[in-house]
Amino acid sequence: MDLQSGKTKSKKKSSGIRKYTFDNIIGESEAIQKQINIAKKAAKTNATVFIYGETGTGKELFAQSIHYEGVRRNGPFLAQNCAALS
């Protein structure tokens, strides 16, 4: 029984998605604050959001922040790496 519950725990850890919110976005510049405000407005709508940018710029952070602050927060979060499609 312990072995089986150990397997279940490890599956949950490996398949779990880290949940980011706007509080996790670090930045005080006017530019980043502007982007956060735009993202917060998007979170209040039911619109599909497309985020693009260079690697390492925080696209996933913004996407999850929009999702978990939005009207669909109780639904699944599905991230798609478009570079992997080509």
CATH code, domain with 42? 3.40.50.300
What domain count does the chain have?
1
Alpha helices by DSSP H, listed for the chain, are 2-15, 30-43, 59-69
76 within some domain: yes
For 66, half-sphere exposure in the C-beta direction (CA atoms, 13 angstrom radius) is 23
13 within some domain: no
Whole-angstrom Cα distance, residue 36 to residue 16? Answer: 25
Domain limits for position 39? 18-85
Whole-angstrom Cα distance, residue 86 to residue 71? Answer: 31
78 within some domain: yes
30 within some domain: yes
The per-residue pLDDT for range 3-40, each reduced to its tens digit, is 555 544 434 444 566 789 999 999 999 999 999 999 99
Separation in Å, CA 35 to CA 31, 42, 45, 65, 66:
6, 11, 16, 12, 11
For residue 82, pLDDT beyond 60: yes
8 within some domain: no
What pLDDT score does 17 carry? 64
What pLDDT score does 9 carry? 46
Kindly report the pTM of this predicted structure.
0.74
